[in-house]
Chains A and B, each alone.
Chain A
Amino acid sequence: MNIEKIYIDSFGKFERFELDLGSDFNVIYGNNEDGKSTLMAFVRMMFYGDTSRSRNNIREKLRELYRPWHSDRMGGSIRFCADGARYQLDRNFGKTNSSDKIKITNLDTGADIPLMRNQEPGQIFFDLGLEAFEKSVFIGQNGSLISGTGKDDEIMQRLLNLVTTGEENTSYKKVADKLDAARQKLQGKQKAKGLLPESHSKLAQLRTERDQALQNEQAKANAQFEIERMREQQLELSGKRDVFRSRLKLLAVDKEQQELEKAIKRRKELDQKTDELLKLKRELERPDIVLDDSFIVAAEQKINEYNQLINNLEETEVQQQEQQKKLEELQSAAIREIPEGRTETLRQLEKDIAQTERERNALSDEIDKLQELSNLEQEHAELTSSLETGKTALAEIKEATEFASEKYEKLKQERQDHLNAQKGLKNEIEEAQRLNRQAELELNNAQNKLKSVSDQFNLRISMAEQQLEKARQPQVYQEDIPACREIKKPLVAAGIAIALLSLILGIIVDPFLFLLIIAAAIILVFSVRKVPARTITRQSTDPRAVEQAEKQLQQEQFIFNQDKTSAEQELEAVHVKNQEAAAQEETLRKQAAELDEILAKAEQQLESADSDYDEKKAQLAKLQADFEALEKQIEGKKASIADKRGPIIEKRAADDFETDVLISENQKQLAELNQKYNQMAQSLATGLADFDVQTLEEIYQLEKLWNSHKLQLEAAAKSAGESAEKIAELKQKLTGKKQELLDFVSSYKTAESVDHVLVLLDELEHKIARINNLNAEIIGYQSSFKDTENKAIPELEAQLQQVSQLLNELKASSGPTASNETSELVEPGDTIEPGASSEPVDLNTLEQRISDLEVQINELGGRIAGSEGSIREKYRKLRNVSQIDNEIEQMEEKIEKISTDLDVLGIAAKAMEEAFEEVQRSFGPLVNTRTAAIFKELTQGKYSNVAVSRDFSITFENSSDRSLREWGYLSSGTIDQAYLALRLAITELVTNGKEALPLLLDDIFTLYDDTRAAEGMRFISEYHQNGDKAQQVLLFTCHSRIADMGAKLGANSIILARDVDYDDA
């Protein structure tokens, strides 16, 4: 933005003043009071107006301060270009901003730029509010006067606010978050476990594991101690076992010696037995037969057969004698003989009698059955007759039932008629009741009406009377009397009287008395009194009102009498109607009562007819049931008759027979049979008498006895003959068998008799038994020899000699301690014979001892192996203390490293926080950086760094020695440089990224020495050209040296003439 031209129509000291400005560095020189500040104020007010309201300080009220000296008007115009367009701003100042007349014209288009309410042109074109404008591009002397006193702190504070530290905040948050994230990774946050807690946790686990490993180590040491103890025990037991073993060997050799001696003895016995056996065997040797146990068995078999034959012979002889004796007894027995065929005749007769008996019984049965049939037929006839009677009765009762039904229906109809009549009458009564109620209601209404009319008229009459009474009473009312002059008549009269009296007395008495006229005049004056406006209360009776009230009363009474009469008539009429309605209702009620009686009778009759009908129906039902039962019975009888007749018809082969006829025929046959039966019974009785018996059974018994006796006789004769034959045969066999036996035994020795045979056999048996015994003994001897003993006697004797020698050697080697050792071997539980304590323990005990010891040694070995194995297995996969210690060491190093990093991160975070606090305390890095850059240039590199804090103190770093200096230690010129740098920096920041705004500088180098001022001017001249945005600078100064410097630097110099009448110019 460039201000091209300023035209002041009238403002402060200026009238019709024009100022053309260059687009870059303009130095506007004028002495004090030449209007530099006025020009700056004009620009400011043109763009922003003035809203200051200070009553006291006129310098703060710009409208007042720059009120034109020569004109009432105040205003002007500024031409400028902005954003590539040219504009003219015209403004006529009123009393306030709102009364200012502002016009902005786009000179390129001629269009006016509208302003919104309360909007100032500066806000559009500078894009800054007034305050921002004043804090940035508008650098008045105030700005340059910021000094060590800190007077302008307020302005600086506002400046500060322009620049936020938002970016730095963001930057800090990011940085702090990253550092924090790294810390969290290490130490964790909430649920997330960090590396450090994890490592601590692992370390704790490792320490626990290490403690356990130490315990394990101790446990292993204990186990090892125990195993060592067991090993010692095992060793001790092994020693003991070895002693036992040597003793065992001694005993074994001793035993071997004894056994050898025994073996030699047994061998000799064996030889004797063998000789004897050979001798016996030779004695029994035969060329053709072997005399052994089988020979004896065969001989004994033959003897048995011989003896058996003798026994049989003896038994047969006894039998034969008994049979002979029995035959003789049978022959002498007395048994009656029964001729053949006699019993057969009697038996036939008995059969015929039985047949006749059966026939007779059959006939009797048939007669009985026929008798039953006859009875059934009779019953059937009777039932059929009953059925006929039943039929008649059933017809009668049906008829009676129908009659009862008809009667019931008739009565039911009658009752319905009565009910209908009753219902009609009931409706009539209800109607009569309704009418009656209505009549009563009307009567009530009429009475009420009468009463109402009375009440109403009484009230109206009473009101009329009250009205009359009221009219007759005097009325009190207020009357307003306006203000007036009241004449007090008595005083007037008195005045006149005195006047007259005066006149009279003056004339009469003394002219002096005319003076009384004065008194009269005074009285007259006082007689006219000024009365103010007032209200007075008055009373009066209005005769018209009384009359009107009386008329009203009379009228009310007349109307009342009329209405009352009408109402009373109406009441009378309604009363009559009411009575009629009551009479009608009464009549109807009587009729209804009569009808009720009739209906009650009809109900009784109907009930009676109903019960009669029900009774008849029941009778009919019962009769029908009986009838049906009878029919069933008849059917039953018919069936029975048919059943009975069936067999008879079948028997007779004809179905037409008369039962009674048949009965008589059968009875005749029965009589014939009875006769036949009696004849046969007589014949049988005669036959039985012949044998002196009562029954046919007895004859049978006699017959059986005779037949049996005859058979016994025949058998006995036959047995006796057979036995005699058998005895002869047996005697012959016996002789043969004896010879056979003698021949058989002769193979051994010749026998003379069977008894001799027995003696010889016994002798042979003894010899054979001896041979067998000898054989068994020889086998026993032979098997009792061990392999080493199975030798000839000389060999055995040589062996014995060797063993004896060995034994002697062993005994010699074990020496005298042997017995001691042996005694050691005796265990507390051993049984030791008295006096044999030094005797060696027997072999078995020793072997048992050794075996026990072996068991114990093995058991210990097993326990040791088991213990070692279990320990190896138990700790096989476990790490030892040193291994864990290594890991603990590594973990501790890790923890230390993590902790160090945590410390480091903490340090970084803390320093970062402090740095951020410093950032927050300062104007912010951007301001600092730019201020420092400008300041460095201004001071030509003397000071390279500044830090502006929020309390406006600026710290300087000396480029040469890097020392930091507080502003209080510097000259005010340097401080001004610093603050100029700060203002320029802020301006840059405020307009950052926008079109460069013109800088308005009001004698900013006032306090600078020449050198520093020259540096400042050079800086400004260069500064406005810096960068790609050329900036217009308007430097106002009252110092010619500054103007000269500006001229030298090629600035557009403008000189404001002192006291020039611009109006004229």
Chain B
Amino acid sequence: MVEGIKVLHCADLHLGSELTGAPGSAAQRKQELLGTFRRITNICRDEGVDLLLIAGDMFEGANVDDATVQSVKEYLKNMGSTVAAIAPGNHDYVSIDSPFAGNNWPENVIIFRSDLAKVEFPERGFAVCGAGFTCTYQRESLLEDAGGLMLDSSLINICVLHGDLGPNGAISDYNLVTEAQLAASGFSYVALGHIHKRTAILRTGPCSYSYPGCPDGRGFDELGEKGVYIGTVSKNTARLEFRPVCSRMFLSEAIDISGLNSEGEIVRLVLAELQTRYGSDFGRHYYKLQLTGSIDETFVLPLATIREVLSESLYFVKIADHTHIEVDYEELAKESSLRGIFVRKMLERIAAADRAEHAGRRSQLPIVALDTSGPAADNSERDGVRQITETDKLKRALELGIMSFDGEVKLDEY
């Protein structure tokens, strides 16, 4: 009986996606995503990984081009002794035109094409189970049949699955997986996919599980460093670590340019700041910069020029002007002018709304972690998306109102 096996857990690669909404060169980005996958398979080969777990949405869809599929097959084939287990997800569900439809996959690749199934490797001391989506919406939980697998308790049993982690009784279009199911499943590790933001290595009962997130971002809704989980899974533990593999990062950065009043100064500050934050090769990332702070009333921010100059050093950059002219609203409210009265009225409303919200917050129960309100086809990276309160709206209304006195009313890009 082996102590543990080495696994690499990745998900949601979305290979072949055209990235029409992504900035920069879509074709290049597509190749970069494929390159990231190649790096993953190289790690498997070079580091003697026993089991590569791909937890769904490996492909963007059935419409992925043949060249990409062919490359994927080659990379998988060249992994040496690594076994790859693929559980198709809602994007690449098994269908007649799916890349998984054919039988010409390398021998070391296991594709779970429908209900929960098991493949044992007794000589290597593990068994891998999994299930695949056969349509977009998998409303019946695939893990429900785990009991029927008759797992061999002498082996390290690992499961790979695409699905939506949620509480008991929740409803999900994407294969609801509950902690209760996981705890009772008998698996040492369940490799999940679907959520693009990685979780920690979680544990329920004897079962460890996690979402590694996507290994490479595809837009500014997938921010930060992306990668895979790699490590050892033994009968009772899963010692996995995050390993970045992304080619580039999507980064949204706020940079305070208070007091600066020339394009050169701003560019220098931005580059210095980004270098501090992301090291010497900071230039390769995608940046969405918000220039913040207060600037001189007379200084018109030359956004286009700044963007142009920054583009020389950064792979991709877009800039939003979130600067403001230093305004003491309390003082402004004393003015017996239209502006003063407007500010006073807005401050009154903000104060009232703030009081109401404080009162409301005290009386409300904590918000449930999982938002099951609408379809989230993937990448549900909803952390940090705070509900906009009435106070927020009023503050924004105050800003826009003041903007209307000074110049154009600038709205954010949508």
Q: Which chain A residues have a beta carbon within 8 Å of chain B's beta carbons? A: 168, 171-172, 174-176, 178-179, 181-182, 185-186, 195, 199, 213-214, 217, 220-221, 223-224, 227, 868, 871-872, 875-883, 885-890, 892, 894, 897-898, 900-901, 903-905, 907-908, 911-912, 914-916, 918-919, 922, 925, 928-929, 932, 944-945, 947
Inter-chain contact B409/A875, CB cutoff 8 Å: no
CB distance from A912 to the nearest CB of B (A): 5
Q: Which residues of A contact B62 (CB under 8 A)?
A: 875, 880
Inter-chain contact A214/B414, CB cutoff 8 Å: no
Inter-chain contact B414/A929, CB cutoff 8 Å: no
Q: Which residues of B contact A227 (CB under 8 A)?
A: 96
Inter-chain contact A175/B63, CB cutoff 8 Å: no
Q: In the complex, A387 Cα to B263 Cα: how many Å?
A: 138
Q: Which residues of A contact B408 (CB under 8 A)?
A: 178
Which of A220, A888, A892 has the largest count of B CB atoms less than 10 A from its CB?
Answer: A220
Q: In the complex, A449 Cα to B134 Cα: how many Å?
A: 139
**Given A897-B414, A929-B337, residue A912 in contact with residue B401 (CB < 8 A):** yes
The answer, among A182, A223, A887, A894, for a CB contact under 8 Å with B411, is A182
CB distance from A173 to the nearest CB of B (A): 10
**Given A883-B60, A904-B393, residue A925 in contact with residue B414 (CB < 8 A):** no
The answer, among A181, A889, A900, for a CB contact under 8 Å with B376, is A889
The answer, among B61, B90, B394, B411, for a CB contact under 8 Å with A907, is B394
Q: In the complex, A888 Cα to B378 Cα: how many Å?
A: 12
**Given A876-B97, A908-B404, A911-B342, residue A217 in contact with residue B136 (CB < 8 A):** yes
**Residue B388, interface by CB 8 Å:** yes
**Residue B341, interface by CB 8 Å:** yes
The answer, among A178, A213, A889, for a CB contact under 8 Å with B375, is A889
Q: Which residues of A contact B340 (CB under 8 A)?
A: 925
Q: Which residues of B contact A186 (CB under 8 A)?
A: 411
> How many A-B pairs fall under 8 Å by CB?
163
**Residue B319, interface by CB 8 Å:** no
CB closest chain-A residue, reference B400: A908
Encode B403-414 as 1/0 by CB contact (under 8 A) with A. 111001101101
CB closest chain-A residue, reference B408: A178
Inter-chain contact A911/B61, CB cutoff 8 Å: no
Q: Which chain B residues have a beta carbon within 8 Å of chain A's beta carbons? A: 17, 21, 57, 60-63, 90-91, 93, 95-97, 101, 134-137, 221, 334-338, 340-342, 344-346, 349, 374-379, 388, 393-394, 396-398, 400-401, 403-405, 408-409, 411-412, 414
Q: In the complex, A887 Cα to B90 Cα: how many Å?
A: 15
Q: Which residues of B contact A890 (CB under 8 A)?
A: 21, 221
Inter-chain contact B95/A168, CB cutoff 8 Å: no
Add 12 more A-B contacts to A904-B397, A929-B335 (CB < 8 A). A168-B338, A178-B403, A182-B404, A227-B96, A872-B96, A880-B63, A885-B136, A885-B377, A886-B378, A890-B221, A898-B414, A911-B346
Inter-chain contact A221/B338, CB cutoff 8 Å: no
**Given A172-B338, A915-B338, residue A882 in contact with residue B61 (CB < 8 A):** yes
**Given A876-B97, A890-B21, residue A925 in contact with residue B338 (CB < 8 A):** yes
CB distance from B149 to the nearest CB of A (A): 25
Q: In the complex, A904 Cα to B397 Cα: how many Å?
A: 5
Q: Which residues of A contact B414 (CB under 8 A)?
A: 195, 199, 894, 897-898
Q: Which residues of A contact B342 (CB under 8 A)?
A: 911-912, 915
**Given A168-B338, A875-B63, residue A880 in contact with residue B91 (CB < 8 A):** yes
Could you name 9 residue pairs across A and B whose Cβ atoms are closer than 8 Å? A175-B404, A179-B404, A181-B409, A199-B414, A217-B135, A872-B96, A876-B63, A885-B375, A907-B394
CB closest chain-A residue, reference B385: A893
Inter-chain contact A220/B409, CB cutoff 8 Å: no
Q: Which residues of A contact B334 (CB under 8 A)?
A: 944-945
**Given A889-B375, A908-B404, A929-B335, residue A220 in contact with residue B95 (CB < 8 A):** yes
Q: In the complex, A756 Cα to B168 Cα: how many Å?
A: 126
A interface, by DSSP: helix, strand, loop or mixed? helix
CB distance from A229 to the nearest CB of B (A): 13
Q: Which residues of B contact A221 (CB under 8 A)?
A: 95, 134-135
Q: Which residues of B contact A922 (CB under 8 A)?
A: 336
Q: In the complex, A911 Cα to B335 Cα: how many Å?
A: 16
**Given A875-B62, A879-B61, A885-B377, residue A925 in contact with residue B96 (CB < 8 A):** no
For the complex of A and B, list the 3 residue pairs with the smallest distance between their C-beta atoms, beginning with the closest. Answer: A928-B336, A885-B377, A915-B341
CB closest chain-A residue, reference B407: A178
Inter-chain contact A903/B393, CB cutoff 8 Å: yes
Q: In the complex, A179 Cα to B409 Cα: how many Å?
A: 7
Q: Which residues of B contact A217 (CB under 8 A)?
A: 95, 135-136
CB closest chain-B residue, reference A894: B414
Inter-chain contact B96/A223, CB cutoff 8 Å: yes
Q: In the complex, A224 Cα to B137 Cα: how many Å?
A: 17
**Given A217-B95, A224-B96, A911-B345, residue A919 in contact with residue B338 (CB < 8 A):** yes
Inter-chain contact A904/B396, CB cutoff 8 Å: yes
**Given A876-B63, A911-B345, residue A185 in contact with residue B411 (CB < 8 A):** yes
Inter-chain contact B401/A908, CB cutoff 8 Å: yes
Q: Which residues of A contact B398 (CB under 8 A)?
A: 908
Q: In the complex, A447 Cα to B412 Cα: how many Å?
A: 121
The answer, among B21, B338, B377, B409, for a CB contact under 8 Å with A178, is B409
Q: In the complex, A681 Cα to B403 Cα: how many Å?
A: 160
CB distance from A908 to the nearest CB of B (A): 4
**Given A179-B409, A883-B91, A898-B414, residue A872 in contact with residue B97 (CB < 8 A):** yes
Q: Which residues of B contact A944 (CB under 8 A)?
A: 334
Q: Which residues of A contact B374 (CB under 8 A)?
A: 889, 892
CB distance from B410 to the nearest CB of A (A): 8
Q: In the complex, A897 Cα to B385 Cα: how many Å?
A: 12
Q: In the complex, A872 Cα to B98 Cα: how many Å?
A: 8
Q: Which residues of A contact B346 (CB under 8 A)?
A: 908, 911
Q: In the complex, A888 Cα to B376 Cα: how many Å?
A: 10
Inter-chain contact A905/B397, CB cutoff 8 Å: yes
Q: In the complex, A903 Cα to B379 Cα: how many Å?
A: 28
CB closest chain-A residue, reference B102: A868
Inter-chain contact A908/B397, CB cutoff 8 Å: yes
**Given A880-B63, A889-B376, A915-B342, residue A224 in contact with residue B337 (CB < 8 A):** no
**Given A886-B377, A925-B338, residue A900 in contact with residue B63 (CB < 8 A):** no
Q: In the complex, A174 Cα to B338 Cα: how many Å?
A: 12
Inter-chain contact B379/A886, CB cutoff 8 Å: yes
Q: In the complex, A919 Cα to B156 Cα: how many Å?
A: 78
Inter-chain contact A932/B336, CB cutoff 8 Å: yes
CB closest chain-A residue, reference B330: A962
Q: In the complex, A891 Cα to B341 Cα: how many Å?
A: 37
Q: In the complex, A171 Cα to B405 Cα: how many Å?
A: 8
Inter-chain contact B411/A900, CB cutoff 8 Å: no
Q: Which residues of A contact B401 (CB under 8 A)?
A: 175, 179, 908, 911-912
CB distance from A626 to the nearest CB of B (A): 118
Q: Which residues of B contact A179 (CB under 8 A)?
A: 400-401, 404, 409
Q: In the complex, A200 Cα to B95 Cα: how many Å?
A: 32
Q: In the complex, A888 Cα to B135 Cα: how many Å?
A: 18
Q: Which residues of B contact A868 (CB under 8 A)?
A: 96-97, 101
Inter-chain contact B63/A224, CB cutoff 8 Å: no
CB closest chain-B residue, reference A875: B97
Q: Which residues of B contact A928 (CB under 8 A)?
A: 336
CB closest chain-B residue, reference A878: B63
Inter-chain contact B377/A889, CB cutoff 8 Å: yes
Q: Which residues of B contact A889 (CB under 8 A)?
A: 374-377
Q: In the complex, A912 Cα to B338 Cα: how many Å?
A: 8
Q: In the complex, A871 Cα to B97 Cα: how many Å?
A: 7
CB distance from A188 to the nearest CB of B (A): 14
CB distance from A745 to the nearest CB of B (A): 87
Q: In the complex, A850 Cα to B398 Cα: how many Å?
A: 86
**Given A175-B405, A195-B414, A915-B342, residue A925 in contact with residue B335 (CB < 8 A):** yes
Which of B57, B134, B400, B412 has the largest count of A CB atoms less than 10 A from its CB?
Answer: B400
Q: In the complex, A712 Cα to B63 Cα: how many Å?
A: 117
CB closest chain-B residue, reference A932: B336
Q: In the complex, A945 Cα to B336 Cα: how many Å?
A: 8
CB closest chain-A residue, reference B398: A908
